[in-house]
Structure 1
Amino acid sequence: MKVMLVEDDPVSLALLKKALGKSDPNVITARNGAEAWERFTSEQPRVVISDWMLPSMSGIELCRKIRAEKTKGYTYIIIMTAKDQKEDVLAAFDAGADDYVAKPYDIREMNARANTGKRIIQLEDTHQALQQKLIISRTKVRTVFDALPEEIISVDRKIRLDSINKAALKIMKGSYSEIIGKPCCQLLEESESDFYENTIKQMVQDGFKTRKTSTTLDRYKDANSQEIIKERTIIPVTREDGAVQTVTIVSRDITEAHQHSEEIRALNQKLKKISSELIKKNLTLESTLKNLERTQAQMAQSEKMASIGQLAAGVAHEINNPTGFVSSNLKTLGDYQTDMNRLIEEYQSLKTGLKTLPFGSLPESISAMIAKLEATETEIDIEFIQDDVNELIDDCREGTERIKKIVEDLKHFAHPGEDRMTETDINKGLESTLNVVYNEIKYKATVVKEFDDVPVVYGFPQQLNQVFMNILVNAAQAIEKSGRITIKTGQVDQMVEVRISDTGCGIDATHLPRIFDPFFTTKDVGKGTGLGMNIAYNIIKKHNGDIRVESAKGKGTTFIIRLPIYNEPGDAGTPDGGVATSA
């Protein structure tokens, strides 16, 4: 903020500038009134501190000219003078000064008064900015207010107009300036409507009394004897203290909407009459279908929750092991570090001792210290520690990375609702699923992965992972003691193919045609719902893919899944014609 000092005495001017310049570097100076006026008009300082008695133009004249000038912002003026009579003070204030300082003045007081002026200027600038924002905001609100098709007016307790929008002005007798402040009942063009004259008075009084919004319908005929229906809403507008300041009346023409509503109501009645017999015939079937859907949904939810619980237990087991050896290794690493600190302290003591002795002199105490250091190295086996630290750190990193991978893969199955269509790497999906179901498989089978570098597909990654999970869990359960699960990926024409084979008990040939049917299962009662393979089938079909099974009793089972390779968004083969997003 610029400050201008006006003083004809060069010594006083220099002292004052030095004092004020410490808190504000933007200080300009003038030696007489004319120079001060010229600098004011060119640089527009916000604070002016001027002596009264000046060559060519007095400080009082300068003050009057500043006040007469139109500036962008307010200028705070402080007059300095040796005059200390009451009339002199009043003359300075009459000329437009904001403050008055008698000479000789205390430089600290002058600084304080200048800072007060700056604060006042800042407050003035803030006020102007807020006022401008208020004007802009009010203009925007008024623009929206006038653009609304509803007729909106505000009235006081005597039903006198307080404000009105353009839609309401059209039905009033007179211009905006002519009708504001007058009773609205006398200004209406809608002479056939007695709403304002009769009903409005009571509703406005109730609004002021209860502070509650109310709505009513007003029916009347226009000049052409056409029925008009308007919805009138009374809205009390309250102040901060809760008292009602005005009541706003919003009128909306619902004639056409009411007519449409009546027509629709008549058509609905006719439709109900025609379709009543059909509804009766379909009632039993609808009830049966709802019961079936409800049962299926409950069973699917039960199976999903059971699978999640089982997998969560396995993941917890997998997390505990790496956490255990990470914790153990960190403890050992801490012990090693303590020994290293002991050795470093001994070296530092030796160094300090050597520095205090003349060059080339080694007393017996120094020799003893060196011997002690060598004994300490032998005692803690420093070479072994240095070799072992790196191995411990590698173990810690391996454990923490395993924890991170397991938890990350589990998150994909814990938040299925966040699944979305995207470019999907089948190999990564299989790896992620294997990590999650590893605890279910590791005691039963060895997993052999034969992954080709296959193109991406377009679909729901979590849903596809659910298909892989269902097949892998079934494969593990089909192996009685120990076996092998082989997973192969490759490209066949324009499809990505996944083959999951197991060396389990296999499926009877009579059961193969029904393997994807809902509720079909070969497991014992209570161990399966028969929905896992049906869910897998529906997911693959949803992705415009194909799933089939090859199996023989006692020779294992192979599930073959084919999914279309990702094309550009909107091309054939994209599920549901959706828009592709980046993975």
Structure 2
Amino acid sequence: MNDTPSICSNKTVTILVVDDDSRVNFIISEFLETFHYNVISCNCGYDALKVIEERAIDLVLLDIVMPDIDGFSVAKKMKAFFGKDNFVPIIMVTGLTDMDEKIAGLEYADDIVSKPCSHKELLARIKVMLRIRSLQRELVASRKQYHFLYENVPSMYVSIDEKLMVTNCNERFRVKNGVLKQEIIGENIGDFFLKEDHNALDKFIESIKLQLSVKNDPVLVLTPVNSSLPHIFVSLSGVYMGDEHGLGYSVEIVMQDVTNNIKIQQEQRDARKQLYLSARLASIGTLAAGVAHELNNPLTAILGFSSALLNRTGDNADIDKAELKQYLSIINSQTLRCRDIIENLSKFACEAETKIENFRIGDSVDNVIGFLGSKVNKKNIKITVNIPETIIAVADSRKFEQTLIYILTNSIEFCNEGSIVTIAAASASNMVKLSVEDNGPGIAPDIVPKVFDPFFTTKNVGEGAGLGLAICHHMMEECNGNIDIESEKGRGTKVTLELPAG
């Protein structure tokens, strides 16, 4: 392989040769020019310092002993002038043989060559130094590019060390905190977040350090150093730089301001909640009509027997104690029935926080069937229940019952008179599965995927808002459960509710 430098690679390289011996200057300059290097020569140190101020230099060949200022001082001044980001190699070419002086020369120079030296050795050393310069310039360019990206990336960017202290941060993070960089560097990263979020922050950093995958970027609350600025929600992602190459431990954290997204999500939740409430109120109105009908029977009995007692006491007629006891027992039992009907309606209408607790599935199913008794009887629907008493679910029993009321009401409304509805439950894999299956008309295959969509309904305009099953889906999510529907046109429908087992 030919190691001779090409014209293209050398014609832009300028080498400064500094030696008080004009003959040495001429020989070295002439030799380097044969390899197409641009060469500038000087006979003294001060002239050399003046040249580097006026011309761009890529490498310096510097003698130590000169008439005005020694090479050590010249090298020191040159390095100070070039700066740390502009590596211009200095090779000292000297006739001195003292080892201490050579070592002293390397304090500011990058290499040292003893006179006399062969042209091949000198050329080899020049090529090595120029290669190092080229690599250093690439490194500086990469560092500047990284710094530019770090500062201008459209996210907050923070670097922390093994003690969780901030070692660097970009402009966006400084702006969000309303302070200068020096007020951030050296502070613990936890100081920028709510105390309530510190545990989540520690877990996040530990997962990054262990290079564990994080399913969802955690969202924490950033508390700006400048207390006049509002708190903001930020999602976190990051990368662990480690210390494999001796560069120091570092975790790079990227923060996205998601405050607006959080606000929008909250507004959407509030809107959905209002929709669900409106739909529930509409359902309550529908159920109230059935409840009024169901109350009519016990109230008729109460009114009849109480009126009979009043009439007989008004006529001063004798009343047999056994007969009186029977009348009062009927009045009492029918009054209790009215109370239960009203309590069930109140339970359905009540809006409360989700309360997760153990409850018997069978008891809740009995409550719902009792509540819908008038609707069931009116259409002569037969409901069969197959639920072992030992099955316990962990959820909000009230919301589960509300969901079941929606499902059974739908089944009753769409089924023909005399239809059969089967309710069954079983436990499997730490979950309770309850199914409600009817032999009604079923649902067309193109409609099944849409039944949980808000406002989707197959009823006529004004007969339903299309929120019933959407509410069911919402309430099952609040209970940490699932709801699924299977149906085939003409062959009935099966709804499955899945809840954590107790």
**TM-score with structure 1 setting the length:** 0.38
Q: Which has the higher helix share?
A: 1
**TM-score with structure 2 setting the length:** 0.44
